[in-house]
Amino acid sequence: MSAVDIGARVAEADWDAVEDGLDAVGGAVLPQLLTAAECAGLRMLYRDDDRFRSTIDMARYRFGSGEYRYLSRPYPEVVEELKQALYPRLLPIVRNWWTRLGRAPEWPDSLDEWLDRCHLAGQTRSTAILLRYGAGDWNALHRDLYGDMVFPLQVVVNLSEPGADHTGGEFLLVEQRARAQSRGTSFTVPHGHGLAFTTSERPVASARGWSAAPVRHGVSTVHSGERFSLGLVFHDAA
């Protein structure tokens, strides 16, 4: 695996269509970003205690049911390469969003520069996670905010094969609409594919201009089997 491969896979996405999906519902499926072998490698890595800085039992915090582990830095090569390749693709989209919302887009051109700023602001801890759900597990609707420094889009990669490794376990987005009931959108993320989605809100056009609609994400109950995923958030944590 080399940086060239991952970069080329990320480049293969139809980024205009991804932006359209993000604009419309706050989420969009990406092409296959990791091979079956790379997915298996990360699933195996889940057992390697030395690679993680902390482990969260989701039921204990009432985050749902299942477990996730924060990867320690340095990240595995594919994880680092994915983050580096995805950041500059997501950047123009989040700059457009903030411009629509009348906010200053504060993010620099490179991920390393952005992470330096997070670290200066006291958000120094790694945020890339591996998640594991067994039958009956689920992820409650939430937003991945870890402090004032926020990159508004994130990516999850399904390390398992829907329909074969697990049933259920759909990715969910729920948008809280102003003065109306909420809207739900579900995604089946194919094996090794990514899904780009909003971390906390989406710009919505109204008669009075643009406003930000809160969007939460989660995972529906896994009915059978096991589902692993890789969660990539672009800000670090306090």
Ligand X SMILES: O=C(O)CCC(=O)C(=O)O
Residues that bind ligand X (CB under 6 A): 131, 139, 144, 156, 171, 217, 219, 229, 231
Q: Shortest approach of ligand X to residue 30 CB, angstroms?
A: 13
Asked if residue 67 binds Fe ion (CB under 5 A), the reply is no
The answer to whether the beta carbons of residues 6 and 82 sit under 8 Å apart is yes
Q: Which does residue 193 touch among ligand X, Fe ion, none (CB within 5 to 8 A, set by kind)?
A: none
# residues near Fe ion by CB under 5 A: 1
Query: Which 131-150 positions form the footprint of Fe ion (CB under 5 A)?
Result: 144
Nearer to ligand X by C-beta: 168 or 231? 231
The answer to whether the beta carbons of residues 134 and 222 sit under 8 Å apart is yes
- CA dihedral (12, 29, 36, 142) in degrees, to 10, reads 140
Task: Please give the full DSSP string across 45-93, using - where no structure is assigned.
Answer: HTT-GGGEEEEEETTTTTSEESEEEEEPSSPPHHHHHHHHHHHHHHHHH
What number of other Cβ atoms are within 10 A of residue 160's Cβ?
23
The H-or-E segment that residue 35 falls in is none
Q: Shortest approach of ligand X to residue 208 CB, angstroms?
A: 31
Q: Shortest approach of ligand X to residue 231 CB, angstroms?
A: 3
Q: Which does residue 219 touch among Fe ion, ligand X, none (CB within 5 to 8 A, set by kind)?
A: ligand X
Binding residues for Fe ion (CB under 5 A) = 144
